[in-house]
């Protein structure tokens, strides 16, 4: 809300059904303030995969909108490294993901695991019914900050505990100011989720935050001898 005090040449007038309230300032002066009429949103239901799909179709009919993958094409040939304690993680876009440890003196990886190789078919299958955009399952929200575009990396180094290849889901999110690995977590044994901050995705409307709506409260300075009617007096007058 934004409070606005009219100047000497203009006064704020309210509608008959508009709610008003008397508010004092620090100098003891009273103002009669008219609260804005705020219409509630028609629907407060969270965005689902279904209506995200319809939003994309509707938007693409009006403008030629680039897909998330088209926006991410600038990352081709790029690799990103993140160090977390003993381990370092390297993602090469649409190539592979490495987990490795480097000795300072030799600067050569003495331990290394492949957490997955880019799988185009698995990625296409994953995004087929999601219209290229998913929502974090542990934070169901229509908030744009919870949305991501995913790539699947499979057929990594065999896991000693499961005897199956390691695999990783790479989640690209809208975030400024530069592309970088922001986190990597192990969802289950030898199955990982790696999040990449991707400012280029912020150009896509479904990754853009909705701006808050501001409402103005108009106030009039009341005379010093003004006395606010008590509730029982109001009822009597009616």
Query: Can you give the CATH number for the domain in which 131 is found?
Result: 2.70.130.10
Is 47 domain-assigned? no
| Residues 232, 200 within the same domain | no
pLDDT confidence of residue 186? 95
Asked if residue 55 is part of any domain, the answer here is no
Q: 89: closest CA among 106, 71, 101, 107?
A: 101
Does residue 160 lie in a domain region? yes
Phi/psi for 165 (5° steps) reads -65, 145
- Least reliable range by pLDDT among 102-106, 138-142, 212-216: 138-142
159 vs 99: CA distance, rounded Å = 13
> Which pLDDT belongs to residue 128?
81
Spatial neighbors of 94 by CB under 8 A, at least 6 apart, are 76, 118, 120, 151
pLDDT category at 38 given cuts 50, 70, 90 is confident
- Per the prediction, the chain carries an average pLDDT of 78
Over residues 213-233, the mean pLDDT reads: 72
pLDDT score at 19: 84
């Amino acid at each position: 809300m934004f409070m606005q005090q009219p100047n000497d040449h203009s006064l704020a007038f309210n509608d008959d059904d508009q709610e008003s309230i008397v508010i004092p300032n620090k100098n003891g002066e009273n103002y009669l303030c008219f609260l804005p009429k705020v219409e509630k949103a028609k629907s407060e239901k969270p965005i689902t995969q279904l209506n995200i799909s319809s939003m994309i179709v509707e938007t693409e009919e009006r403008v030629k909108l680039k897909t998330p993958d088209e926006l991410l094409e600038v990352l081709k040939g790029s690799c990103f490294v993140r160090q977390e304690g003993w381990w370092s993680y390297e993602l090469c876009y649409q190539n592979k993901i490495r987990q490795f440890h480097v000795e300072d003196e030799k600067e050569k990886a003495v331990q290394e695991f492949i957490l997955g190789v880019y799988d185009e078919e698995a990625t296409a299958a994953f995004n087929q019914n999601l219209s290229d955009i998913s929502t974090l399952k542990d934070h169901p929200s229509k908030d744009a900050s919870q949305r991501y575009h995913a790539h699947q990396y499979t057929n990594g180094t065999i896991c000693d505990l499961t005897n199956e290849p390691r695999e990783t889901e790479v989640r690209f999110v809208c975030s400024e100011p530069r592309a970088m690995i922001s986190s990597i977590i192990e969802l289950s044994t030898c199955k990982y989720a790696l999040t990449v901050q991707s400012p280029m995705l912020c150009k896509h409307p479904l990754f853009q935050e909705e701006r808050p709506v501001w409402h103005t409260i108009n106030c009039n300075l009341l005379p010093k001898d003004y006395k606010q009617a008590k509730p029982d007096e109001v009822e009597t007058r009616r």
